[in-house]
Amino acid sequence: MKKFSLVVVVLLLLVACTPARSIPSTGGTMVATLLPERHEVPSFDHIVLILLENRSYSSVIGSSSMPHINDLARRNVLLTDYFAVAHPSLPNYIALVSGTTADISSDCTKCYVNHPNLGDLLDASGHTWKTYQEDMPSPCYVGDAKPYYQKHDPFIYFNSIRLNAARCDRSVVPLTTLDSDLANNQLPNFAFIMPNYCDSGHSCPASTADQWVSNMVSKLQASPALGHKYLIIITFDEGSDSSHASCCGLPRGGGQVATVLISPLARPGFQDNTPYSHYSLLKTILAAWKLPGLGETGPSSTQAITAPWVPGSP
């Protein structure tokens, strides 16, 4: 009995003496964050992924040029240890929807991919999806049409989608389609929303992307089509070109980027310091709808995002 009591005391002392990890808050001060609890990913009715371009975490969080994104980060969920998986842009886009970069290492336009992807799994499971691309000339458009760039439209690269005209026309569409889908209560279960070359922050100031995101989030949240069981994700394709920082067992990554989660089913004002990558984000989407794994979502080193959810969320 004495031996058992001694073990308990030692364990309690170890817990008490283990410091909480300190991380910068969005306002520049330090906050203490304990190791987060884990909860099952909710079964969302709608998941919306908004992707921005080429900004490292440190150039976004705390930046006076991006006040709206920082406000969203303060009020919702901020992932403080999240990483892109490669440079340049296209490998990250492909990874986000297929769990692999498909050995792509450039922003090529003819490097088509014959690989299972999120669109395939969603269609097979009866879930609906669309990618809404700003300034895309027409559904299933192939090639560049500035300020629309094909490299920011990952689904068009997959043979199973691009070569199926009816499927591609239905799901790979210009952003202008979003307004009518919201008005007609036809928002798909998964929506990938991509601003153009300027509004994404690629070739215009950070403030332009910040205002565009604010307007888009407001539009989505004002629509009854979004419902209550939703998740809006704001992230960046890659960090600065000079950073190859990574996590989660990946040998070389695309740098740390800011990622914000907005959901009524998440803890408000929550900062999650778990190491995540783009593969973690895909794994979380798959987990929400109990879909099979894809590529790098399989290894245990790729963690699904589970800490932010309110216990008992449906």
Q: Is residue 63 over pLDDT 90?
A: yes
Confidence of residue 33 (pLDDT cuts 50, 70, 90): very low
Exposed/middle/buried for 306, CB within 10 Å: 0-12, 13-18, 19+? middle
Residue range 33-43: average pLDDT? 68
Range in 42-46, 289-293, 300-304, 310-314 with the lowest mean pLDDT: 310-314
Q: Domain locations in the chain?
A: 43-297
221: which DSSP letter? H
- CATH for 43-297 is 3.40.720.10
Work out the percent of the chain whose per-residue pLDDT is above 70.
88
Residue range 234-253: average pLDDT? 92
Q: Is residue 4 over pLDDT 90?
A: no
The DSSP element (H or E) to which 276 belongs, if any, is strand 276-277
Q: Is residue 24 over pLDDT 50?
A: no
Confidence of residue 17 (pLDDT cuts 50, 70, 90): very low
The pLDDT value given to residue 251: 87
Residue range 111-124: average pLDDT? 98
Q: Is residue 56 over pLDDT 80?
A: yes
SS3 category, 169: helix
CA distance 43 to 230: 9
Residue range 276-293: average pLDDT? 98
Sign of CA dihedral 260, 148, 256, 304: positive
- The whole-model pTM stands at 0.88
Q: What is the pLDDT of residues 156-191, one digit of tens each?
A: 999 999 999 999 999 999 999 999 999 999 999 999
Render the burial of 127-143: b for 16+ CB within 10 Å, e for the rest. bebbbbbbbbeebbbee
Nearby residues of 84 by Cβ (< 8 Å), 6 or more positions away: 92, 236, 237, 238, 239, 253, 254, 255, 256, 257, 277, 278
Mean pLDDT of all residues in the chain? 90
Q: Is residue 211 over pLDDT 60?
A: yes
Q: What is the pLDDT of residues 266-275, one digit of tens each?
A: 999 999 999 9
Residue range 269-289: average pLDDT? 98
Q: Is residue 220 over pLDDT 90?
A: yes
Confidence of residue 193 (pLDDT cuts 50, 70, 90): very high
Q: State how far the alpha carbon of 262 is from the alpha carbons of 81, 202, 269, 299, in Å.
A: 17, 23, 10, 26
What is the pairing mode between strands 259-262 and 77-79? Answer: antiparallel
Residue range 284-302: average pLDDT? 97
CA distance 125 to 123: 5
When comparing pLDDT for 15 and 44, which is higher? 44
